[in-house]
Amino acid sequence: MARIDLVDLAHSYSGNSADIASYALKPVTMTWRQGGAYALLGPSGCGKTTLLNLISGIVTPSQGKILFDGVDITPLSTQKRNIAQVFQFPVIYDTMTVGQNLAFPLKNRGLPKKEIDARVAEIARLLDLTPYLTRKAMRLTADAKQKISLGRGLVRSDVAAVLFDEPLTVIDPELKWQLRSKLKALHRELDLTMIYVTHDQTEALTFADTVVVMHDGRVVQSGTPAELFDKPAHTFVGYFIGSPGMNIVPAEVRGREARVDGYAIALNRSYDALPSGAKIEIGVRPEFVDVAAPAPGLISANIERIDDLGRVRFARLRVGNAKFAARVPPGFSVPGDVAGLIFDPSRVHVYADSLLVEGST
């Protein structure tokens, strides 16, 4: 158990001399607190697995340091790092039984047999593997094998962190839900730091207290699911999280007013010192824009289609050249091809070169 600090950590697969823009992981400094449930969220190729492998020591960083409880462990090998990791595809030891598989990490570290048995029994109970302990692991299904892999990750009680690299990819959707809530329960029960890599926002948001969003080798935001939803720090977070994603449209912002396609939108805060020459956009989640009958003073948009998601309907619109999504209020029937849009001013954010700008009140 430990706090994990990353200090100016970066990695390039093509050597130290490579251009920083080509780094798989661009320099990052952050802290993972003991006992936290973290999710590393991002699309494929954003560097999340690289970051994970750097922490576990499978990959050696090109620069920077990793500290466990303030101790620099960067030069240590994986074996000496006291870390557990579960991989995307099940890894089981074919010739061993389920019980021996679970005991393997403990046996290798020379724990007394009594302690191993007790720990294996506990983990097997938590993962519902008890009836299978004496079966050969090789003959089980992929689901069961992945459970064994998870079990091997969780069996050591003293690890600094347990890292999960998209561990539920091979699992059936229904079982995925069960296993994910099981992991969450295990996290509470075992008091381990867990870092969970995924490209699935539902998985990330349901599992973690803190979600770390990565994009193009950079950590773009780290926060609670609510923070990511309410106040995306980067336009990428805006449209990657949420379904449909955040509306991001180019705008001219002056003081407390943004102009889009010639129409004015009121803002809650004042933006006076926007960097000059930057690309200015406003971002607002579809949940906070309502479709209304066209009226003077409202942005007018062309309706392309209405998506009925059951509990809520979203209109897909076009404002000028920009695509837009907005909520259709319950009971509101769409009058024609053209609609007006009503914005919630407190939910409209301003971005300069994709980064959130804090306005002054």
- For 267-330, the DSSP string reads EEEEE--PPTTS-EEEEE-GGGEEEE---TTSEEEEEEEEEE-SS-EEEEEEETTEEEEEEE-T
The footprint of another protein on this chain (CB under 8 A) covers a number of residues equal to 38
In the region spanning residues 115 to 134, those forming contacts with another protein, defined by CB under 8 A, are 128-129, 131-132
When binding is defined by CB under 8 A, the residue of 22, 31, 78, 202 that contacts another protein is 78
Q: Is 88 in the site for another protein (CB under 8 A)?
A: yes
Part of the chain binding another protein (CB under 8 A), chosen from 1-9, 66-74, 144-152, 346-354: 144-152
Do the beta carbons of residue 40 and residue 212 sit within 8 Å?
yes
Part of the chain binding another protein (CB under 8 A), chosen from 73-81, 244-252, 306-314, 346-354: 73-81
Count CA atoms closer than 13 A to 305's CA, side-chain side.
3
Q: Is 143 in the site for another protein (CB under 8 A)?
A: yes
When binding is defined by CB under 8 A, the residue of 18, 20, 118, 138 that contacts another protein is 138
Cα–Cα separations (whole angstroms), residue 341 to 171, 244, 309, 326: 42, 17, 20, 8
Q: Is 108 in the site for another protein (CB under 8 A)?
A: yes
Q: What is the CA radius of gyration of the chain?
A: 24
Q: Is 140 in the site for another protein (CB under 8 A)?
A: yes
294 Cβ neighbours under 8 A, 6+ residues apart: 300, 335, 338, 339, 340
User: Tokens representing 45?
Assistant: 């190729």
In the region spanning residues 206 to 235, those forming contacts with another protein, defined by CB under 8 A, are none
Backbone angles phi, psi at 147, to 5 degrees: -60, -40
Q: Is 19 in the site for another protein (CB under 8 A)?
A: no
User: Tokens representing 52?
Assistant: 């994970």
When binding is defined by CB under 8 A, the residue of 175, 264, 322, 357 that contacts another protein is 175
Helices of type H across the chain: 48-56, 98-108, 113-126, 142-154, 173-190, 201-207, 225-230, 235-240
Q: Is 85 in the site for another protein (CB under 8 A)?
A: yes
Residue window 30-69: x/- pattern of binding to another protein, with contact defined by CB under 8 A: --------------------------xxx-----------
Q: Is 324 in the site for another protein (CB under 8 A)?
A: no
> Would you report the helix, strand and coil content of the chain in percent, each value rounded to 5?
30, 35, 35
Cα–Cα separations (whole angstroms), residue 50 to 14, 20, 46, 56: 13, 15, 9, 10
Q: Is 109 in the site for another protein (CB under 8 A)?
A: yes
When binding is defined by CB under 8 A, the residue of 48, 119, 147, 349 that contacts another protein is 147
Cα–Cα separations (whole angstroms), residue 190 to 32, 171, 196, 208, 317: 17, 23, 16, 15, 48
When binding is defined by CB under 8 A, the residue of 68, 87, 229, 236 that contacts another protein is 87
CB of 113 to another protein, least distance (A): 17
Q: Is 89 in the site for another protein (CB under 8 A)?
A: yes
Q: Which is nearer to another protein, 108 or 321 (CB)?
A: 108
Q: Is 157 in the site for another protein (CB under 8 A)?
A: no
Three-state DSSP class for residue 255: strand
Q: How many residues belong to the chain?
A: 361
When binding is defined by CB under 8 A, the residue of 149, 198, 221, 247 that contacts another protein is 149
Part of the chain binding another protein (CB under 8 A), chosen from 20-28, 90-98, 209-217, 266-274: 90-98
Point out which residues bind another protein (CB under 8 A).
56-58, 77-79, 83-85, 87-89, 91, 93-96, 104-105, 108-109, 128-129, 131-132, 138-145, 147, 149, 152-153, 175
